[in-house]
A and B are shown apart, each in its own frame.
Chain A
Amino acid sequence: MADQRNKSEYVQEGKSKKRSTLGKWTRRGFIGVGGLAGVGLLVGIGGNAFLNKKVRKYSGLGMGEGDSMNAWIRIAPDNTITVAVPRAEMGQGVYTSLPQLIAEELNVEMSSIKVIHPQPEAPYSNTFMLTQEEPNAFKGYSMMEKILASMPLIATGGSTSIPDGFTNLRYAGATAREMLKAAAAEKWGIDVKDCRSEKGHIINSGNNEKLTYGQLAEAAATINLDGLPELKKKEDWTIIGKPVQRLDIPEKVTGSATFGLDVRLDDMKYAVIRHPSTIGGKITSIKNKEDIEGRAGIEKVVLTEFGAAVIANNTWRAKNGALALRFEEDDAGNGGINSTQISTELTDILDKDPIATPVDTGDVAAILSDDKNQVIEATYEVPYLAHAAMEPLNCTVLVDSESAEAWVGHQGSSIVQNMVNEITGLPKANIKVNTTYLGGGFGRRAEPDFIRKAAAVAKEMPGVPVQTVFTREEDMQNDMYRPAAKSRFKAVVESSGEIAAWDNMMALQSVSNSAIGRIMPAMAPSPAKDEATIEGAANLPYIMKNQRVAFGNHDIPIQVGFWRSVGSSQNAFFTECFMDECAHAAGKDPFEFRQSKLANHPRFKAVLEKAAALGNWGAQDGKFRGIALHKSFGSIVGQVATLSKVGDKSFKIDHFSCVIDCGMHVNPDTVEAQMEGGIVFGLTAALHGEITWDDGSVNELNFPQYDMVRMNVSPKVDVHIMDNEFYPGGVGEPGTPPAAPALCNALFAATGERVRRLPIIKQGYTFS
């Protein structure tokens, strides 16, 4: 089973379309057939235009009343083109790249587009996230996709926005264009073949008469097309694949962009939340409720099942009140959790039998136990990490007797609706979700906790909008962390440089089991079935004669979650550093060592070679270089880090060269930006990131204890995007994983010292 999965993942490298298949856990472990048993009855939901095979006009779902061409496009009489983007804009540029797909086929200029974030409605389901297959609503969905669309997951994550929208949105644009042409043909009484579309107009090819899209929209919206129009060929694109300026940037330089924390409503109140001081614990009572309620500006002190909150007329007053609260608490027996214990437990797991062995080819044990072979062995370790998005978590909710409304920057509008429904008991149809810009997501803003908490607080103030805010400290201490992990390798490398055996046992807490358990409990995979945790370790491209990859689960009541690049965030560091160890043990150049093992994977090989060239691999310039190659979220990224030695264990990170093969891309400038930012994100984790535990709670409070890479340490980054016609992969996450191993491999080149535990600055290194 495990081998088949690996093979199927490799086979698709040569094809441009489908990835994994259904009937087993998908790569991200998000959903499987087993978990769907309970929703089978939903297939019967009929009459939903979205599920029809025919291309037809939607009811305007999510677009309000008016002349919707389909669920994504509305054209007003004044020619304004409203595009519904149901994915969260968290800096990755979806408010521009998804409209680019539509504008290309619709033949309109990007400047004529206005983006709205629609309500969570079925057409906007992210089916790619669930199936990893190219969705095509216009050609008709598979049975599985219909099931999924009937219980929509309107979510942004897993670097899926482009893979999910790439085909659908081009058809959305193309069908709207054909509907406009048909309306014009009818009006002029000519054949539709004699109409063409150009820059927001339909032109009569016979006499050059023109009508604007706005003039035709009302008639066009009633047209039913026969069959599907052809999509443009890649070589004819003028908007897709071009560095279009982002539509959201102008308001992000004037301070006028509205993030969740910037929502201001009439008579709204501000609440600051306090969580139990122990993970999994409970605040059982508030000792000084009346005292705090007597303070100026404080409206109310509330105790919900999630914690306490002080509601006030100003965030600062609420914060001071919240800090002054005194509690009785129940630590749920978790008051002893600490980092030393966690580290010991992880080592114990490495010594035990695995719960899953996703890769087991050949006979690794025989090679390792053969006395003639010299075994290279190393154990790596990474700590828990916080997301620490720049905008602290917050959500504004108004609960009325019949309806509720939320204003929030969240990665999943359907998750918001579900959570407000769960807490208030109000019907979903009466719960409106207003999605703002997100001040960073990174996986944290896909979590349901802060919605539940805000709804529970707002419920205490019926009829009043309440903005519930986590202070930076509450945000950092109540995250859903990237889990701590240990990974042990044993390998035998032949003198020829071939890897005779590669054995990798890892110990960490299952991310999908924890995270999906919070979002959609019925669908949470068991730890043994969780592919997200092992991704990036169990799908290496290198030729290895015998290979075993195994996983042991760490069972601990800490909440872990999806953190930008998930399993790859640690597994790229582990595997690509250990590859370096193997290369050095065999006396080979780390680049050539990798290159020699990629005969089956031309795309990987091309990326590696391009990264080496861009990074001046092998240059005799007194600098130190490290290389890393990793595939995640459908895209292959190679990076070369270049360092200068400033002093003993003191370095300057001069440069990162970064090459990405993400198949076809929509906005190259955004791809570059995601690589630049992804590298900084990876370097912050490598250099500084560590969440530690004592007495069942997190020690780090704020940026002084959980520092970030800043301007002075940030390297110059050059990005190259491979040009090909493969189906698009993601770009939001794949830039992050190779950064740590490229850096650590360069440090080895400089010092001969192998960094096997992150963060690096705690090993006595400094960077400037």
Chain B
Amino acid sequence: MELNINGTVKTVDVEESMPLLWVLRDELNMTGTKYGCGVSACGACSCLIDGVATRTCTLPASAAVGKTIKTIEAIASDGNLSAVQKAWIQHQVPQCGYCQSGQIIAAEGLLDKTPNPTDDDIDTAMTNICRCGTYQRVREAIHTAAKWRQEENSLLG
């Protein structure tokens, strides 16, 4: 099947039912997207599918055919970190870091839809598990990224 991943069409020869997570990790060696639970309960495997943060451990790869798939590897473009990634560094968010690909994808998805989220918006959108407990910094970093994205936009506009 053909998958549109980070702007490139990749051809993979896998079962229809193989979750996108394992196509990325084991067939394409794109290991930024993580396995945490396999049952859509933790968010570690999140990717942007047509712009929406989606848990890929239960998403058959065949269901992503014809859609755009964006993984953590493509959140920075041409080596330039996104506002979210920069805010993550500014607030020194990651601890072990394992959940953070998924957290960043979820934050990108949230800010694309809701550029200036309230704390309640963050609570609703950010349901990923962080076993290290970085939630407070994730929240602060999202507010900072929202501000930076708006500043970027007003400069562009």
Chain A interface residues toward B at CB < 8 A: 90-93, 245-246, 248-250, 252-259, 261-262, 264, 270, 296, 313-316, 319, 388-392, 437-442, 471-472, 669, 673, 676-681, 684, 702-704, 708-712, 714, 716-717
Contact = CB atoms under 8 A, between A and B. Distances in A.
A88 B128 CA distance: 25
Nearest to B98: A439
A676 B92 contact: no
B134 A676 contact: yes
A717 B89 CA distance: 19
B25 interface: yes
B135 to A, nearest CB: 4
A716 B72 contact: no
B135 A253 contact: no
17 contacts: A91-B96, A249-B97, A253-B89, A253-B94, A256-B73, A264-B31, A319-B38, A392-B36, A437-B97, A439-B97, A440-B132, A702-B38, A703-B42, A709-B133, A710-B126, A711-B126, A717-B136
A428 to B, nearest CB: 28
A714 B129 contact: no
B39 A680 contact: no
Contacts of A315: 22, 25-26, 35
Nearest to A262: B31
A91 B95 contact: yes
B131 A440 contact: yes
Contact of A92 (B26, B31, B95): B95
Nearest to A258: B31
A716 B37 CA distance: 27
Interface string B115-128: 00000001110111
Contacts of B71: 255
A569 to B, nearest CB: 15
Nearest to A712: B123
Given A261-B31, A390-B36, A472-B36, A711 B122 contact: yes
A314 B73 CA distance: 21
Contacts of A258: 31
Given A440-B131, A711-B126, A714-B135, A255 B73 contact: yes
B149 interface: no
A441 B37 CA distance: 17
Contacts of B22: 314-316
Given A261-B35, A702-B39, A390 B137 contact: no
B54 interface: no
A768 to B, nearest CB: 9
Contact of B33 (A249, A255, A270, A389): A255
B55 interface: no
Contacts of B134: 673, 676-677
B75 interface: yes
Interface string B86-126: 00110011111111110010000000000000000011101
Contacts of A678: 133
A711 B139 contact: yes
A440 B130 CA distance: 10
Contacts of A709: 133, 135
Contacts of A704: 39, 41
A681 B85 contact: no
A472 B92 contact: no
A267 to B, nearest CB: 13
Q: Top 6 A-B pairs ranked by shortest CB distance? A: A255-B32, A680-B133, A439-B98, A91-B95, A252-B97, A91-B96
B133 A676 contact: yes
Given A253-B89, A254-B75, A677-B95, A708 B129 contact: yes
A456 B98 CA distance: 27
A256 B122 contact: no
Contact of A702 (B15, B32, B37, B135): B37
B49 to A, nearest CB: 16
Contacts of A264: 29, 31
A251 B28 CA distance: 20
A693 to B, nearest CB: 22
A576 to B, nearest CB: 20
B81 interface: yes
A484 B126 CA distance: 32
B34 A391 contact: yes
Given A91-B132, A440-B132, A711 B137 contact: no
Contacts of A316: 18-19, 22, 26
B151 interface: no
